[in-house]
Structure 1
Amino acid sequence: MSDAILTLAGVHTDIAQYHILHGVDLMVPRGGVTMLLGRNGVGKTTTLRTIMGLWKARAGRVTFDGHDITAAPVPARARAGIGYVPEDMGVFTDLTVEENMVLAAASGPLDPARRDRIFTAFPPLKTFWKSEAGNLSGGQKQMLSIARAMAEDRKLYLIDEPTKGLAPAIVSTMAGALRELKAQGATILMVEQNFAVARALGDHAAVMDDGRIVWTGTMAELAGDATLQERLMGLSMEAH
């Protein structure tokens, strides 16, 4: 595996009385898309939230871009270059699309060139730029959520199920925008249940089960081996 921008070593995370992560070991290579896959409830979202610092690791180490961030607060992780797109979108519904984007550009005014690239990736955001985000459809809110993470250059994007519940046309738009972000050299760690999207976008894959990483390799290797998919996830990508 190439130079790792993110490493988790023996990470344990508890939520209330529940022990969710049971010693996660994960390396995310710099550049490209790493897919974090597995059945529902195995700890994928908890892994992303632990990396972002929203949940605190009880044990183990999280290293980002050569620095130990295990005890770092969320704002420090964001300033270090980690962008997070949660499953619940995380937009401010009472603010306009523009105001959501301005808040996301923490280092200063939103660069016009970057704004235009976002408009190209997500045309509805240009149409509804002055509208309250609460008036957007579910797919448009998801576009805004990803666009907020793109408001500044990030060294790493954590994206949790960006196509969940979206119509096929919106999924296609979302996948195209993520493909363009990847082409710009971004590093992405993404949880995705749509295996067609995972196969199309992923370079690397890590499969979780019961709070642990149980397999790592290339996305092509996993996508090309139905027996391996059945063994790791209990299903075949071809069926989804």
Structure 2
Amino acid sequence: MSDPILSLNNVHTDIAQYHILQGVDLEVPKGQVTMLLGRNGVGKTTTLKTIMGQWTCKSGEISFDGQDMTQMAVSARARAGIGFVPEDMGIFADLTVEENMVLGATSGPMDPKRKEWLLNAFPALGTFWTSEAGNLSGGQKQMLSIARAMAEDRTLYLIDEPTKGLAPAIVSTMAQALRELKAQGASILLVEQNFSVAKALGDTAAVMDEGRVIWTGAMADLATDKDLQERLMGLSMEAH
């Protein structure tokens, strides 16, 4: 396993009166795809939002690329090289696809070669480049959300359930784009309920339950061990 680009050490997060994260320990190796798995409601989305700074870490430490960013502002984390794709997509419906992409390139104009790669990866975005994002289909909006996070080169991408509710053809397009992103040297922390996608993309995996990481290891080991899947998540990947 390579050195971690991101480390969480005993991270606790409260939301209102609820103690959601109860001592999360997690490492994301450089240049790899780490799958964050577990049943609904165990803290996966809260973990991503805590890493991004949208929820405040009550105690513990978050380290990114060797720097303590536990108390860093959201904008500073983005400038440091973290891209975030939320589950709700977070696109600007009244802006065009192009305008959404321009907002994603926070450090300046989008590199023409990167724009070309993204439009090759997500051809529908080129077709609707000047259309308002609110007029896109659900799958096209999800493509835009991911492409916007990729509008400039980032060190780490946090992606929350990108294939949820999407048609197989669109899932395949997204998976290929994420493979290409990894090939460029990016590190990815991916929450995903589609186990076929998790098996295809994941290098390592971390399984959460009740606000903690209860297992870490190679994604391939988890994908081939039905008993382990049942014990950790109460279900078999084979059935999904």
Task: Calculate the TM-score normalised by the size of structure 1.
Answer: 0.99
1:95 is aligned to 95
Query: Separation in 2 of the partners of 1:218 and 1:39?
Result: 19
DSSP-derived class of the 1:213 partner: strand
2:143 is aligned to 143
Amino acid across the alignment from 1:117 = W
1:211 is aligned to 211
Query: Separation in 1 of the partners of 2:179 and 2:64?
Result: 23
CA offsets per residue over residues 167-203 of structure 1, 9 Å max, x none? 1111111111111111211100000000000000000
Report deviation, 1:113.
0.8
Query: Separation in 2 of the partners of 1:150 and 1:202?
Result: 19
Whether 1:165 aligns to 2:165 is yes
1:36 is aligned to 36
Report deviation, 1:32.
1.3
1:7 is aligned to 7
1:67 is aligned to 67
DSSP-derived class of the 1:75 partner: helix
Q: Give percent identity, aligned residues only.
A: 77
Amino acid across the alignment from 2:114 = R
Query: Separation in 2 of the partners of 1:78 and 1:206?
Result: 24
Query: Which ranges in structure 2 are unaligned for 5 or more consecutive residues?
Result: none
Name the stretch that deviates more: 177-186 or 88-97: 177-186
- Following TM superposition, where does structure 1 have runs of at least 4 consecutive aligned residues deviating by more than 3 angstroms? none
Query: Separation in 2 of the partners of 1:180 and 1:141?
Result: 20
Report deviation, 1:43.
0.1
Report deviation, 1:15.
0.5
Whether 1:16 aligns to 2:16 is yes
Query: Which ranges in structure 1 are unaligned for 5 or more consecutive residues?
Result: none
DSSP-derived class of the 2:205 partner: strand
Whether 1:125 aligns to 2:115 is no
2:183 is aligned to 183
Amino acid across the alignment from 1:83 = G
CA offsets per residue over residues 68-91 of structure 1, 9 Å max, x none? 000000000000000000000010
DSSP-derived class of the 1:95 partner: coil
CA offsets per residue over residues 16-43 of structure 1, 9 Å max, x none? 1100000000011001100000000000
DSSP-derived class of the 1:54 partner: coil
Amino acid across the alignment from 2:208 = M
Report deviation, 1:108.
0.8
Report deviation, 1:226.
0.4
1:202 is aligned to 202
